[in-house]
């Protein structure tokens, strides 16, 4: 891996990247409500993950993924193995980007131990990498 400052842009689009990097939630385009709802449905049906919007985040924080234990309820139904909390103060497109990133942690959690090891899991907790490395992997 190279630091961006140690590389040369290959195109005009690459030069624009430097301007976009300071904002981790920068997105382009529009997301339909239907695509958002289908993604939430897939999170539940395929991954048993509940996605919940919350205002308990700083504006610059997109979300987090949590494993059990957490209290079951209407927003955390029985059978839910993980929940993803997303900052409700972000625009829909930014929320989608944050969700994709948090799902990255979830999938890295399954295969690299980002979230620690679940009971009976075949993977180990990933104590050897720091939070910055986990963010890059996700």
pLDDT in tens, 11-67: 777 677 667 666 666 788 999 999 999 999 998 888 777 888 988 887 778 888 877
Average pLDDT for the chain? 75
- Residue 49 phi/psi, 5° resolution? -110, 130
Which helix H or strand E contains 47, and what residues bound it? helix 33-47
**Maximum CA pair distance of the chain?**
52
> For 95-112, how does the pLDDT look when each residue is reduced to its tens digit (9 = 90+)?
999 999 888 887 776 545
The answer to whether 68 and 109 have CB atoms below 8 angstroms apart is no
- Around Cβ 23, how many Cβ atoms within 10 Å? 10
pLDDT band of 122, cuts 50, 70, 90? very low
pLDDT of the residue at 66: 79
């Amino acid at each position: 891996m190279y630091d961006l400052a140690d590389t040369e842009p290959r195109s005009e689009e690459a030069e624009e990247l430097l301007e976009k990097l300071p904002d981790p939630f920068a997105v382009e385009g529009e997301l339909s409500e239907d695509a958002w709802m289908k993604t939430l449905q897939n999170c539940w049906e395929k991954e048993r993950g509940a996605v919940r919007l919350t205002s308990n985040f700083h504006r610059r924080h997109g979300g987090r993924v949590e494993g059990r234990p957490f209290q079951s309820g209407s927003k955390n139904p029985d059978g839910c193995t993980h929940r993803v909390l997303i900052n409700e103060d972000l625009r829909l497109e930014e929320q989608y980007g944050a969700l994709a990133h948090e799902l990255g942690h979830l999938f890295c959690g399954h295969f690299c131990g980002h979230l620690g090891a679940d009971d009976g899991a075949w993977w180990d907790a990933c104590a050897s990498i720091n939070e910055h490395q986990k963010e890059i992997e996700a």
